Structure 1
Amino acid sequence: MRREVLRGAASARAAWTGELLDLREEHRAFAALLSCVGEADWERPSAAAGWTIRDQVAHLADTEEVAADTLLDGPRAFGRALEGFRTPEEFTAAGCRAGQDLVPMALIARWAQNADRTADLLAVQGPTARVAWGLGMPGRSFAAARLMEHWAHGLDVADALSRTVTETPRLRHIATLGLATLRYGFALARQRWPQGRTLRLELTGADGTRYHFGDEDSTDVVRGPLVQWCCTVTRRTPRPAVAGLEAEGELAELALVHARAYL
């Protein structure tokens, strides 16, 4: 029995190490994308309406600072950082404005420092420690949320630059997060959850890998490309060269409208 417990603990540690490596890889992918942003591109409109490329980077730099302080219960922890703002949108806009006076290299440096700090602190806290972000979530979900933010905003920047983003297996973390936060998305939309319905995802990566999330005996199923589900839950434009998603069942159809993996 003790050997089985030890093996289980070692497996859990290895899984968490892998998840943090994926987060850092997403950071590196974002840094590589920023290296392609020319001096004249920083004020270019991004794929998000009303946001420039500078705004995208400033937002991530600011929220990574808040993320790290939340893990430390510091002065800019999530609950404290939102004080003084009437809405989350006002808080987000202030974070974008914080990057207006920084030259691009300084803005990138601020983002990189804060992102590294968040990942380092997550490694110390562990996958099950509660993080006081929004309604609260375990460290594992928080790591997935930070990965999701970088992928989604990176997609906005890449689309603005007409660059292709290579799909990676890291998207599985976003897919899982999108399923886990589905009730949250319904609550925001004030959408009733169909009684007795459950959802399963049957998704396929660009390399043909199949991903299944949710119980096998679920009443409803969403099928299709992994990247399209990730675009759905982050409210990004579906990839035009990739097949769409198929919904089987009332809950599945509603999920394609109301799924939302971010606050």
Structure 2
Amino acid sequence: MSDAAAVFGDLSVESDELDLLVSGLSEPEWTAATPAPGWSIAHQIAHLAWTDRVALLAVTDPAAFAGEAEKAATAPATFVDDGARAGAALPAPVLLARWRDGRARLRRALDEASAGARFPWYGPPMSAPSMATARLMETWAHGQDIADALGVRRAPTARLRHVARIGVRARDYAFLVRGEQPPAEQFRVDLTGPGGELWTYGAEGAGQCVTGPALDFCLLVTQRAHRADLAVRAEGADAGRWLDIAQAFAGPPGAGRAPEGSEPEGPE
């Protein structure tokens, strides 16, 4: 199986598992608050549906996507919330159907994309496999918020490898989006996967490194938990700074989550 086929398949599985989690919810349950301040379960699914729609535009109609990007540039601090709010106002069955239809259309478009094609995005341009990886990362992250709201404990899976990889690859972006110069030196990242296997990134013997459980690293780079509450460790000042600001998603710097027992700060 090719890398592209693997991530396309894993995206479908991740989406289907989240679908099972929300498909039986009552209308009142859709309004339940999630750990993202101001965001209900409906907001979380609406955000995924909105992002699938603009991702589909990026793949099939770059000019139309450019128009969406221009709108976002005029309201960088609110465009994500605005999209989620509009979708969350829909009746739950309509929202669920919209999300299902949008992700199916995007999956087909990614399957049909030419090898080597690159598509515009809010961050750097993406290939079809990279776009699918980003969608899987967001589906997992927003699914985590939903699971937390419902009191459901999800078992980590090998699909976290995609989230970890995009988190590592987005290292420099996390610095640049904050107006900081990325470190010239690459880091070593050693993560323990769900089955006890070791996932490694970067050169062995690098002067700075990050270690910890893959699940905790993924929670960190998707800003679903604060560094203080995770077993991710850094050796080196630059690596430590990265763990403070890491984000796997494109767009403005995320506010992150407050440490447990503190007041929350924001949805991303």
> Could you tell me how far apart the structure 2 residues matched to 1:68 and 1:169 are?
26
Q: Which residue of 2 aligns with 1:20?
A: 8
The alpha-carbon distance between structure 1 residues 166 and 126, as it changes in their structure 2 partners (threshold 3 A), is farther
Which letter does structure 2 place at the counterpart of 1:250?
Answer: A
Deviation at 1:190, TM superposition (A): 2.5
Deviation at 1:59, TM superposition (A): 0.9
Give the one of 127, 142, 149 matched to 2:131: 142
Matched, 1:133 2:110: no
The alpha-carbon distance between structure 1 residues 57 and 243, as it changes in their structure 2 partners (threshold 3 A), is closer
Q: Which residue of 1 aligns with 2:172?
A: 183
After superposing the two structures, state which structure 1 stretch, 45-54 or 80-89, moved more.
Answer: 80-89
Cα deviation 1:221-245 (Å, max 9, x = unaligned): 11110011111111112699x9601
Q: Which residue of 2 aligns with 1:258?
A: 245
| Partner secondary structure for residue 102 of structure 1 | coil
Aligned counterparts, 1:32-181, within 5 A: 32-73=20-61, 76-77=64-65, 79-85=66-72, 86-126=74-114, 128-134=116-122, 135-181=124-170
Matched, 1:211 2:199: yes
Cα deviation 1:143-178 (Å, max 9, x = unaligned): 111100100100011111111112111111111101
| Partner secondary structure for residue 98 of structure 1 | helix
> Could you tell me how far apart the structure 2 residues matched to 1:75 and 1:110 are?
23
Cα deviation 1:102-141 (Å, max 9, x = unaligned): 2111101100111111111111115632111123122222
> Could you tell me how far apart the structure 2 residues matched to 1:158 and 1:22 are?
19
> Could you tell me how far apart the structure 2 residues matched to 1:84 and 1:259 are?
26
Give the one of 180, 189, 201 matched to 2:189: 201
The alpha-carbon distance between structure 1 residues 127 and 239, as it changes in their structure 2 partners (threshold 3 A), is farther
Cα RMSD between the aligned structures? 2.1
Q: Is the 8 A contact 1:185 1:258 kept in 2?
A: yes
Q: Which residue of 1 aligns with 2:217?
A: 229
Q: Is the 8 A contact 2:23 2:96 kept in 1?
A: no
Aligned length: 248
Q: Which has the higher contact order (CA 8 A, sep 6+)?
A: 2
> Could you tell me how far apart the structure 2 residues matched to 1:256 and 1:127 are?
34
The alpha-carbon distance between structure 1 residues 238 and 93, as it changes in their structure 2 partners (threshold 3 A), is closer
Which letter does structure 2 place at the counterpart of 1:47?
Answer: P
Which letter does structure 2 place at the counterpart of 1:138?
Answer: S
- Where do 4+ consecutive residues of structure 1 move more than 6 Å? none
- In our comparison, the structure showing a higher alpha carbon Rg is 1
Q: Is the 8 A contact 1:198 1:251 kept in 2?
A: no
Consecutive unaligned residues of structure 2, counting only runs of 5 or more, are 251-268
> Could you tell me how far apart the structure 1 residues matched to 2:231 and 2:24 are?
29
Cα deviation 1:208-261 (Å, max 9, x = unaligned): 121111222422111110011111111112699x96011112222112111111
| Partner secondary structure for residue 210 of structure 2 | strand
> Could you tell me how far apart the structure 1 residues matched to 2:111 and 2:141 are?
23
> Could you tell me how far apart the structure 1 residues matched to 2:90 and 2:129 are?
32
> Could you tell me how far apart the structure 2 residues matched to 1:232 and 1:71 are?
29
Q: Is the 8 A contact 1:200 1:213 kept in 2?
A: yes
Deviation at 1:90, TM superposition (A): 2.6
Consecutive unaligned residues of structure 1, counting only runs of 5 or more, are 1-12
After superposing the two structures, state which structure 1 stretch, 101-110 or 242-251, moved more.
Answer: 242-251
Matched residues, percent identical?
35
Q: Is the 8 A contact 2:192 2:214 kept in 1?
A: yes
The alpha-carbon distance between structure 1 residues 126 and 154, as it changes in their structure 2 partners (threshold 3 A), is farther
Deviation at 1:29, TM superposition (A): 1.4
| Partner secondary structure for residue 87 of structure 2 | coil
Q: Which residue of 2 aligns with 1:245?
A: 232
Q: Is the 8 A contact 2:160 2:214 kept in 1?
A: yes
